[in-house]
Amino acid sequence: MRGFDVTEMDSVDEKLAAALGYKKMYSKKELQITGSIDCNERCIFIGNEPGVLGKALRKNNVEGIIISDNELIRQTVEECREHEKILFISTAGLILQEQRQRLRNIYRTRFLMGFAMRERTKIALISAAKSEAELLSAGQMVALAKFLGATRIARPEWSLQ
Amino acid sequence: MILKRKYRYILVRSSGDLDAGMREREILSEVMKVIGELEYSQANPKIASQYTPRLFTIKVNRGYEENMVLALAFVRQIDGKKISLCSLKTSGTIKSLMLYSRKLSA
């Protein structure tokens, strides 16, 4: 199994990506994470308002969405499945926070993942790393996904091409 | 009958250079904070070998390697420095990790 990762770094070394076990790591230039609905390039939309997320999901250039703070918005997760978009979960909130905030985020993310899996929405974990120190290896991502309650970690055939 | 204890070896890459003297104690104390004393005593992690200042191997009891890989992801700071640890490969023999690390540094 070889997955992919999306970072917020300007460029990513291909050798580093291969060493960490990824098929490809997308940098900011190739696939940006944006909160702007006017973005016309290939992007992942981040937000927490159901109306705006719904609008973003209807756009062709949006690969998927990130719900900021990993709050469960049922309507958005259902829309995500209808439009066949990917629900991205950023691991930055789980890894980089202090202990108390981290525990809260883990609980929230488990709840969100559980609902999304029941709804059969496509889910992907990404690091959204801003520097090399924030990166996780593919093995750690899989371990984290299992920890969050993922039961079936498949080859991402539906992943970004 | 004597049962041979089996181990698993994890190849780890740190984002910054680690001081050799402080490495083991500091890394493992950070890991213990994440997994807790009970799990730590069962996993019994040890630093087995170091290939470069950034590449080293952790030895754990078999069955606890997955928790160890996850625990390493939660380590963000070692000895006051912002350093992350990425597990690159898990294996049952130290030799295969040595060969893999040579391939990486080549």
DSSP letter at A91? S
Q: What is the pLDDT of residue B81?
A: 81
Give the chain B residue nearest A143 (alpha carbons): B70
Q: Each residue's pLDDT tens digit in chain A (161 positions)?
A: 578 899 999 998 888 899 899 988 999 989 999 998 888 888 999 998 888 999 999 998 999 999 988 888 888 999 999 999 999 999 987 887 777 888 889 999 999 999 999 999 999 999 999 988 889 999 999 999 999 988 877 655 556 65
Q: What is the pLDDT of residue B12?
A: 93
**Residue type present at position B28:** L
Q: What is the pLDDT of residues A54-73, one digit of tens each?
A: 999 999 899 999 998 888 88
Cα B87 from Cα B106, distance rounded (Å): 19
Cα A90 from Cα A113, distance rounded (Å): 12
Total count of residues recorded for chain A: 161
Q: What is the pLDDT of residue B7?
A: 95
* Closest CA of chain B from A161, distance in Å: 24
A55, burial (CB in 10 Å: exposed 0-12, middle 13-18, buried 19+)? middle
B16 touches chain A (CB under 8 A): yes
Question: What is the arithmetic mean of pLDDT over B18-26?
Answer: 74
Full set of structural domains in chain B with CATH: 7-105 (3.30.70.3250)
Cα A38 from Cα A17, distance rounded (Å): 30
Q: A146 vs B89: CB contact, 8 Å cut-off?
A: no
Nearest to A137 among B74, B76, B86 (CB): B86
Q: A139 vs B89: CB contact, 8 Å cut-off?
A: yes
Q: What is the pLDDT of residues B2-13, one digit of tens each?
A: 788 899 999 999
- Tally of CB atoms within 10 A around A45: 25
pLDDT level of residue B78 (50, 70, 90 thresholds): confident
Question: What is the arithmetic mean of pLDDT over B65-77?
Answer: 90
